[in-house]
Structure 1
Amino acid sequence: MTSVTRPEASMLRTVLLALIGLTLGLGVLVAPSSAATATAPRTTTGYEPTWGRTSAPNQTLRRGCRNYRLSYRVTPPGSRWTAELRVLSPRGRSVAARTLVSEKDAAAGVRRFQLCRATVAPGRFTIRMLVTSYADRYDDGSVARVAPSHFRLRRPR
């Protein structure tokens, strides 16, 4: 192995710091402009109770990993839609998610999601649904959130 003298080490450190600074600087300058052109703006509204609903019965949090059920109904104004369902733990962490599409899924139904007792605590869970409605094939879509619903998973007796 060759040894690096003190002046060479100092110069090497200076060059490395300059390269890191240049890389970080270019990343900050390039990222926002490319991210802005990658996404198309969509119309977003607040809670729309007429676009759908979700619900789930209070259940018992069983030992191991088990399936739990939730029901949904999607009724957006457009003929085509997508719905993103998300289950949040009592601590606000996403623990389950599912995407529904009008071409493949029914507008109303029951779905199952899996939770493991070792990874979640019992308590009040929240179901959130985000619906995107498309009027026609070339529409960017209108997005609305459905009012969240809640259910409890309690400890076994």
Structure 2
Amino acid sequence: MTTHQPVLRPLLALAVVLIGALVLTLAPLAPADAGKGKAMAEYAQTFRGNGTLHEGCRNYRYKYKITPPEDADTWALETFLTDRRGTTIASDGILKGAAKAKGTSRFRFCRENTVPGRFKLRGKFTYKVGFDTFDGWIEPTFFRLRAQ
């Protein structure tokens, strides 16, 4: 009588090794600072208080403050204003070299196509270090504009 070694156990071990290698190969690589919990909110902020929604088309100011990483070659802050319906009614852009890192900017929109109420000012901050680009959303600013 001959004894045969079970074939199932070595095949199972090989399958586990191959699946593990495949998972490690296909898993996305996390950026170096992913584990540190860094968010773009530490680099840019927007500010706007409550106010009045005027008749006609007007400029509505908001403040911003940008503190980019020290190694950033260039940066940009894109801002988007949405009304209580979730409709984007205005946008703006602040670029290194074209604007100061702290200042005032504005949105222009018209009362005819805007409803009074709560507004949300969102911002997307982007910066480059060499050929690498990093971007993400900052903390939104909420404010109210009441009808005149």
State yes or no: 1:83 paired with 2:110.
no
Could you say which structure has the larger radius of gyration?
A: 2
Which of 40, 45, 61 is equivalent to 1:53?
Answer: 45
Which of 43, 54, 69 is equivalent to 1:62?
Answer: 54
Pair 149,47 (structure 1): closer, same or farther in 2 beyond 3 Å: farther
Instruction: Tell me the residue number matched to 2:18.
Output: none
Q: Equivalents in 2 of 1:120, 1:96: separation in Å?
A: 10
Which of 105, 121, 140 is equivalent to 1:111?
Answer: 105
**TM-score (normalised: structure 1):** 0.65
Give the deviation of 1:97 after TM superposition: 0.6
**TM-score (normalised: structure 2):** 0.69
Q: Equivalents in 2 of 1:58, 1:47: separation in Å?
A: 27
- The alignment-based identity, stated in percent, is 33
- Provide the secondary structure at the position in 1 that maps to 2:113: coil
Q: Equivalents in 1 of 2:109, 2:99: separation in Å?
A: 22
Instruction: Tell me the residue number matched to 2:144.
Output: 152
Q: Which amino acid aligns with 2:44?
A: G
Taking the TM superposition and a 5 Å limit, the aligned residue runs for 1:132-147 are 132-136=126-130, 139-147=131-139
Q: Equivalents in 2 of 1:65, 1:151: separation in Å?
A: 19
Compare the two structures and name the one with the higher helix fraction: 1
Q: Which amino acid aligns with 1:90?
A: R
Q: Which amino acid aligns with 1:152?
A: R
Q: Equivalents in 2 of 1:62, 1:121: separation in Å?
A: 11
Give the deviation of 1:79 after TM superposition: 3.7
Give the deviation of 1:47 after TM superposition: 4.4
Q: Equivalents in 2 of 1:93, 1:76: separation in Å?
A: 29
Instruction: Tell me the residue number matched to 1:98.
Output: 92
- Provide the secondary structure at the position in 1 that maps to 2:42: helix
Kindly indicate whether the alpha-carbon contact (under 8 Å) linking 2:92 and 2:106 is maintained by their aligned counterparts in 1.
no
Q: Equivalents in 2 of 1:87, 1:47: separation in Å?
A: 21
Q: Equivalents in 2 of 1:127, 1:101: separation in Å?
A: 17
Q: Equivalents in 1 of 2:147, 2:122: separation in Å?
A: 23
Q: Which amino acid aligns with 2:147?
A: R
